[in-house]
Amino acid sequence: MYFSKALPAFGLALAASATSLSAGTISATGVGLLSNAGVSTPNGSPTTVGTSINFGTGPIENPVLLRWDLISAGTIGAADPTTTVSLSANATRSSSDFDFTVGLWDGVNNVSVFPLVDGSRIFRNENALSNGVTQTESPITQDGGVASAVGVGEAFAFTIDWTLGASSTSITLNILGENRTYTTTNPFDRTNGLSILFAKQSTGEEFQLNSVSVSGDYIGGGAVIPLPAGLPLLLTGLGGMALLGRRKAVKA
């Protein structure tokens, strides 16, 4: 009988791990998001522009345009290690007045960033509250001196990382060659259900989302996949059998 030399290490490593597997990256075009069961548009459906979605002008100030439920309540425990949720997106400046925010929301607190691309500032961090339909904003820091701006009709890419610790939460924005990080004073609760919120400010603004990708330890269909309770023990047994088989082969 022959066993792969890697089998004992494989079995023992899995047996020593937590009894759950999680992970992943979810990527979609703007239009592709609309078929995701975890995505909703609280203030009306967008129009489609090819594979992009465009949220037009509307009567509500500070509306949540798109809500993407990612992690269910209780998935991250209060004593769990620090984890990160990362977002990469491509958007188009679709109106002259163009102010939008992207945040990670725990059902009340929205740890968000204001990626300004109009040449006035590059970054504004926000401590915001939201009911999932609208949000209130409390600007914390504003960074000026933007070297370049995005014109109306031009696309741009950006990334945001939320680092969720047991007692602190930080957010990092990378856009137009600039990188900014801050630690929020927002009483964010990572043990709640967590969602991404895209929002805008004024009634006369539009926002076009071309594509988005979200990744993290607990991302992947929005759920952690439990392993069967006896699987770690089974893997340990298989690892032991493999090791015993190798020893017998050596003696022979």
**pLDDT (tens digit per residue) in 64-115:** 999 999 999 999 999 999 999 999 999 999 888 888 889 999 999 999 888 8
* pLDDT at position 184: 82
The residue extents of the domains of the chain are 27-219
Per DSSP bridges, beta strands 207-216 and 194-200 are unpaired
pLDDT tens across 153-186, in order? 999 999 999 999 988 899 998 988 888 888 887 7
Q: Which two tokens stand for residue 87?
A: 């977002």
State which of 121-135, 149-163, 222-236 shows the largest mean pLDDT: 149-163
The domain over range 27-219 is classified in CATH as 2.60.120.200:
yes
Lowest mean pLDDT, pick from 204-213, 214-223, 226-235: 226-235
